[in-house]
Chain A
Amino acid sequence: MAPASITESLARVLSRGPVRTWVACPAAVVAITVATTSAETSSTVRLAAPAVGRIEGTVRLVAPPGAPIQSGAYPSRRVSRLTPSPSEIANVVVFVKDAPRVAALPAGRAQMRQEDESFVPRLVAVTRGSTVEFPNADPFFHNVFSLSRGATFDLGRFPRGESRSRTFTRAGLVKVYCHLHSQMSGSIMVFDHPHFTIPHADGRFVLADVPAGEYRLSAWHERIGESSKTIAVEAGRTATIEFALPVETR
């Protein structure tokens, strides 16, 4: 598939209305406003031949007023958490939407544990050709399967301590589930380029070595939705940007 069409389709995936899902988001308000470093004070500007720039910014999650899940007579199964839930900001990926496809990408490795009947982390972002491992940390069997177009697989059931892995060779969103625990879900974002990152817990992120140019930059959360902004990256300079999810003015 041509890189252009991949990004296009990815953009379509990510552009679905946020309203549909943020209603149920249980996350607390994560509002982090960080003073951005100005382009002028940046010392990382490289004037070398590959004209690359740098993007810095923050992502702010604006949770709606608490609306609990509408449930039937029996609430869905909840598991007591042994570890505190990671900040929802960890489920946001910031990426350049229309970056050109990079033919040769280093194959990375990432890990998505199965812990407390959840995928931890719930979101993993990797480059094409990377392998994601799914180690089971729970004292019972888990399963990993996906129906997504980019990768349809079922890794079968495996007990604690064992791990299964899968290499993703097509860019796109792959949603993974567990047949044994139906509430479990995780997302794996596979990119054709390396210009993506998951913000820190405080919402700050840095994208370095972005080729100079004008791009659409997106912040995407699997449930809350996506926010895209245009940003101009000048070689040797740092562009700053702020995202708020969901988009407040809508």
Chain B
Amino acid sequence: MARSAPPRFVVRTTVATLVMVAGVLTAVFVGVTINVRDRVRGAVSEKLEAGQRMLSALEERRARELSAQVATLAENSTLKAALDTYQAEIGTANAAFRREMLATIERELTKLAERIGPDILAVTDTSGVVLAVAGRRAADWPVQTTVRPDRDGRGTNYVTTRSGVYRLSSSPLALQETEIGSLQLARALDGRYAQELATLSGAATLIVSDQTVVASTLAGDLTKDLTPGVLQSLRAGADVTLGDSDYAVKPLFQDGETAVYALDSIDASTRAPMQKALGAVFLIAAGSFALAAFASVWLARTIARPIDTLSTSLSEMTASRDFDNPVKPTGFSLEVDTLTDAFNTMMRSVAAAEAETQHAYVGAIRALALALDARDPYTAGHSERVSALSVAVGRQMRLDATELETLRLGALLHDIGKIGISDAVLRKPGPLTPEEFALIEQHPGVGARILRSVHFLAPHLPIVELHHERPDGNGYPHRLRGDEIPLLARIVHVADAFDAMTSARAYRPARSGAEALRELWRCAGSQFDAEVVQALAAAMPAIEIAPLEDMRSVAAITPPRLAVVAGGARG
């Protein structure tokens, strides 16, 4: 089952941080959206309320001023005289004179109207019948009929006529504290008035009278949404929905069936602050993401780098198997350094244990090899000598420490397979029969089989198994050729032959080193690897003059050189 590699630490922290930041920002966004809308609703409501208060105060003042104005106008002596004289003539036959009096009244009204520019300025008799009228909308005012306020009251009243709704201020026309009629000053609640209020309040204005829209500054398509139900909720003071937008509503003033409302779209008002708030949120979001990304990368690096450094050191150490040099503490953090220390301690223990185990093995095997060599007085110390010689040659050939170590132990064990060959064959003083020789040829394979079970000796197996192969392919057991034979096996092959030749046998005396070298040179390229022979030759002085430390113990058990009878091929 393939297990994909876990993500890098930096990916984890970055993703975690960004997800967290995104979550927080989403919450902020939602919060801001709701909050802004709520605040705007409140603000719109407050604005309308402020407008309402202001306009109410303004209108109240205006109404008072209108009352004052109409009261002042009602002191016009000509108007009163003409009205009184007109009324005194009622019932007489002289209609022309009455018309003249009415004309006088009208002329006087027109003069006043020109000065103050009202919508309506009218004179009525004491029963409210309109006698004369002037003003911008004089044509719309009913004449010779009664104009009565929608609701009896003092001061400002609302009047509904065929031509629309008017706000009416009136003042009695009095003579000697007796009322002879009244003067009416009326303001049409029309589009113009609505527009004026809208400009003052900064909100759309709607004038409703008797469940009918009289005037409105709302867009035309919204006005048709003003159903009786909507007007009912307006009256109740509830917010309404016109088109697709919610509108906050405040009555500017209300009197009987006539009411003036200010409306403001909450959605339209929300747009600008929302855009501002969202702009700020996005700015914060970008900043947060950048900061979060930077922080998470930094954090990840802070944590991951010492771990990286540590793991690099560990893998280097593992590769080199150099347990003696502990991993240096990184100094990034206490935890990582503690881990490093623990690892170093552990590795030291492991290395010690391994060394001990290996040492025990090597000791056992070495004892075995020595015991084997000791079976025959002629070969006593052979393995030790071959080992020392091989190392000398290997050193000459500039092999590295690991290879030299492999060479040393491999050479020591190279003849271990001879354990399976009977003494009769092994110690036979005369020439061997082909059958006996076949037995001798089995010893590399036997040695390899014996050592295969020891795991850490795997690198040494080729030496044991192949130390009788010859470059010309005439060796045994596999008849390998030239470079097919590992270098270490070739070295041990040469060293084995050299030691065999320089050792005495029962059937021949020992030859000198120079002699043996000559023999080796003679067979170099065919029986022996030429390069190795050359290296041996180069190393000879060192061997002759200053025997290696490894050879010292061997020298002690070296028997006196005996005459060499035959080549070291059997060795």
Contacts and interface: CB of A to CB of B under 8 A. Distances in A.
**Main SS of the interface on chain A?**
loop
Given A69-B178, A72-B74, A13 B68 contact: no
Interface stretch (A50-58, A171-179, A206-214): A171-179
A70 B78 CA distance: 21
A69 B89 contact: no
B127 interface: yes
A179 B77 contact: yes
Interface residues of B, number: 43
Nearest to A178: B77
Interface in A1-56: 8-9, 12-13, 15-16, 20-21, 23-26
Nearest to A72: B171
Contacts of A179: 77-78
A71 B67 CA distance: 10
A23 B80 contact: no
Nearest to B127: A20
Interface residues of A, number: 40
Nearest to A25: B178
Nearest to A224: B178
B160 interface: no
B177 interface: yes
Interface in A87-144: 118, 122
A250 interface: no
Interface stretch (A162-170, A180-188, A236-244): A180-188
B90 interface: yes
Contacts of B88: 13, 148, 173, 175
**Among the interface residues B174, B178, B182, which one has the most CB atoms of the partner chain A within 10 A?**
B178
Given A70-B179, A73-B71, A74-B67, A12 B81 contact: no
Given A147-B81, A179-B77, A9 B93 contact: yes
B97 A149 contact: yes
Contact of A122 (B64, B75, B176): B176
B67 to A, nearest CB: 4
B68 A73 contact: yes
Interface string A65-83: 0000111111011100000
Given A175-B81, A177-B81, A70 B172 contact: yes
Contact of A149 (B94, B125, B175, B177): B94
B85 A21 contact: no
A78 B77 CA distance: 16
B97 to A, nearest CB: 5
**Among the interface residues A8, A72, A146, A183, which one has the most CB atoms of the partner chain B within 10 A?**
A72
B179 A177 contact: no
A184 B176 contact: yes
A177 B77 contact: yes
Given A9-B93, A76-B71, 15 more contacts: A12-B92, A16-B91, A21-B178, A21-B180, A24-B177, A71-B172, A72-B74, A72-B172, A145-B81, A173-B88, A177-B80, A177-B81, A177-B84, A182-B77, A184-B175
Interface of B: 64, 67-68, 70-71, 74-78, 80-82, 84-85, 87-94, 97, 101, 104, 125-127, 154-155, 169-172, 174-180, 182
Interface of A: 8-9, 12-13, 15-16, 20-21, 23-26, 69-74, 76-78, 118, 122, 145-149, 173, 175, 177-185, 223
11 contacts: A9-B94, A24-B177, A71-B171, A72-B67, A145-B81, A147-B82, A147-B85, A175-B84, A177-B84, A182-B80, A223-B178
